[in-house]
Amino acid sequence: MAMAKPSSLRAILFDIDGTLIDTVDLIVKALDYTYQKHLGVALPREELRRLIGLPLKMQMRYLDDRVSGDAPHDLMEADEMAYYKAHRDQERVVPEAVQAVQTAYRKGYAIALVTSKNRQELQITLPKLAVDAYVDTIVTADDTEHHKPAPDPVLKALERLQVAPEQAIYIGDTVFDLSCGRAAGVLVGAVAWGAHLPEDLQAAQPDYYFETPVDLRNWIEQLPVIENHAKAKEDDFRNGDRAARVGAGAGGDTG
């Protein structure tokens, strides 16, 4: 499949956790709490970090082959989300990354958030992120049968945006993001401030590698403006109803 060049881009897809908002420590703590409470297992921090980027259902099944008996997956999911929600004040927005989303939108690019969070998890984080007004659609773990690192989440976003793979880039902080985007045929960009180690990201050979949030923002600032789309998006933004549409249907097509 032909690789996109920056001049042919029409859509920019962003991961959430570890990319737009720093949730790494909180997710690690929530997973550690859940595994210890229900399974009596304490994993090294780096092993827990490597699980970030997978859907919660997969994370809760990660230790199935190491423990005897049936793990209470549903209860584990509920407790993990409860712990996360109770400590959500530890979330830290990455300002320059959010500015990158805003800039891309105003330049006329179609914007999607593609996350392994389910809708319930997303509603905990989305208010603090406050990018609803700049996003055309959000794909969650509830929207596809197969999840990262499979290509389905990115393909679902492209379908909703009505954009071809060669016209898009997916930007994230884990090797799961890179594998997902690569399998979907889009360009992939890795950010070095998230969950997975820089050496692991570089080994995956992303098309773009952003060491800092400022690097990401600067790269997007240098992209060309898509004139007709930029004007339409500015008019849409002034309507004031985009945030309501995205917030009400995070998993659906928000146009």
DSSP-assigned letters across all residues of 150-213: SSHHHHHHHHHHT--GGGEEEEESSHHHHHHHHHHT-EEEEETTSSS-HHHHHHT--SEEESSH
Do residues 213 and 42 touch, judged by C-beta distance below 8 A? no
The residue from 15, 17, 177, 207 that is catalytic is 15
CA distances from 33 to 41, 54, 82, 120 (A): 9, 17, 11, 19
- Cβ atoms within 10 A of the Cβ of 234, count? 12
CB atoms within 10 A of CB 172: 34
15 in catalytic set: yes
Which residues are part of the catalytic machinery? 15
